[in-house]
Amino acid sequence: MLTFKLSSSSKIYTFFLLFLLLNTISLCSSIVLPPTLFLPVTRDSSTLQYITVIGQRTPLVPVKFTVHLGGGSLLVDCERGYHSSTYKPAICKSKQCSFAKVESYSCTGDYTCLSKPARPRPGCNNNTCHSFVVNPVINTYTYSAELAEDVLVIGVQPIILVSKPRFIFTCVESYIMERLAKGVTGIAGFGYNSTISIPNQFALIDSRFSRKFGICLSSSTRSSGVIFVGSTPYYVYYPKIDISKNLVYTPQVTKPRDWMNPSEYHVKVSSIRIAGKDVPLNKTLLFINEQGTRISTTTPFTILDTSIYEAVKTAFIKALPKNVTMVDSPTKRFGACFSSKNITSTNVGPDVPVIDFVFHKPSAFWRIYGTNSVVQVSKDVMCLAFVGQDQSLAPSIVIGGHQLEENLLIFDLPHKKIGFSSSLKLQQTSCSKYDNFSKN
């Protein structure tokens, strides 16, 4: 059995090039499947998107995907260079259409894209069913994503690779995939309310997978974090720690009024505390449009509705040490910045007031330490890493990637609950130490 040290996106590519040498293996049968799959995730320094690599097609090609926690499927740009001898569009009234639950409204006859060029191709075939998909980076959507299936190879050591000869995904034109990170041609969806999202589809086609997964994003662009797909425990190493223990769980809001994002993950935040004190705010604002708080891997920094943000900013500034000086923000993104000269460091980042998101009861809260609550924007300036924005048509809070980094979140789909750890730095470890060979 081959083993690989995968601690960066370049090494992930090396892995896939080596794997191409294994084409003598029959892709029509699945490799023996362990209960948990490891999917490395890197952060793109330019877009702050989280990127993973999955093998697809025949011959096998390593494809870069932006991770979309609330995405409904594996979404692929099929207009630019999709070539595969095993690509199969989902014909109307087929099992694939029924499996994806799109049969009732989405079948086409002579599809208009056949006129450019006038021949069938991946993403454009007659008599096929189509799915609704969203690019969350630009909030662009289409009902014309062709449903298809092809070979999929996913996972890394120390967990053995998994090969699926008929994995269902959605195929779109290039304009839907704008503003993704350089080299990315797909979006990997992990949404709960879709039979063809990655965790749901694996559980449905193979009973050895559970409908549970965890995300552990690295705070470094030089090392990979990980998505665990399948059963706990979830281990990191040096020392070996089960990071899936002692999480705070809260019920998932499963019926948010969010037609454009039906598979996104939401929880109910009942209050916000800073330095142990409740932030004075109108708590009805925390549940605007009955959507609750969304958890997002495609939003770089947590967004708060403007009125909530102003209250949080005021309380945070008030709780800062008296010798810390506020300064003008050097960037339009953040609204509260201060000199970092008198801020000391701890094992969980800058020593600033802790922020608690309180869930369904006072004892169920997620604590955000300095490493996730602030960001260093220049040599001597830090900013509160939250963004104020009018959220009247969206969730009042959208938790972003910066706040998720070096935390483990577990999505337990059967039990409709989500678990939160605090910073793994409290345990002297990190999300990049998820395998026996990674020592960074």
pLDDT recorded at residue 15: 45
pLDDT recorded at residue 84: 96
Q: Is 161 helix (H, G, I), strand (E, B) or coil?
A: coil
pLDDT recorded at residue 120: 83
pLDDT recorded at residue 156: 78
Buried b (16+ CB within 10 A) or exposed e, 22-59: eeeeebeeeeebbebbbbbbbbbeebbbbbbbbbbbee
CA–CA distances in Å: residue 404 to residues 55, 104, 230, 347, 412: 26, 37, 20, 17, 17
One digit per residue, the tens of pLDDT, for the chain of length 440 reads 333 334 444 544 444 444 443 343 333 334 444 478 889 999 999 999 999 999 999 999 999 999 999 999 999 999 988 999 999 999 999 999 999 987 545 676 545 665 655 678 899 888 899 998 999 999 998 888 999 999 999 987 655 578 899 999 999 999 999 999 999 999 999 999 999 999 999 998 888 788 999 999 999 988 899 999 998 999 988 788 999 999 999 999 987 666 677 899 999 999 999 999 999 998 888 887 667 899 999 999 999 999 999 999 999 999 999 999 999 989 899 999 999 999 999 999 999 999 999 999 999 999 999 999 999 999 999 999 999 999 888 899 999 999 999 999 999 999 999 999 999 999 999 999 886 554 44
pLDDT recorded at residue 188: 98
Domain at 9-230, CATH class:
mainly beta
- Which is it for strands 130-135 and 140-154: parallel, antiparallel or unpaired? antiparallel
CA–CA distances in Å: residue 24 to residues 141, 185, 251, 431: 39, 27, 46, 34
CATH number for domain 247-420, candidates 3.50.50.100, 3.40.50.10680, 2.60.120.10, 2.40.70.10: 2.40.70.10
Q: Measured between alpha carbons, how far is 115 from 119 in angstroms, rounded to an integer?
A: 7
pLDDT recorded at residue 160: 59
Same fold, 9-230 and 247-420: yes
- Residue ranges covered by each domain of the chain: 9-230, 247-420
Q: Measured between alpha carbons, how far is 51 from 64 in angstroms, rounded to an integer?
A: 7
**The dihedral sign for the CA sequence 305, 320, 334, 140:** negative
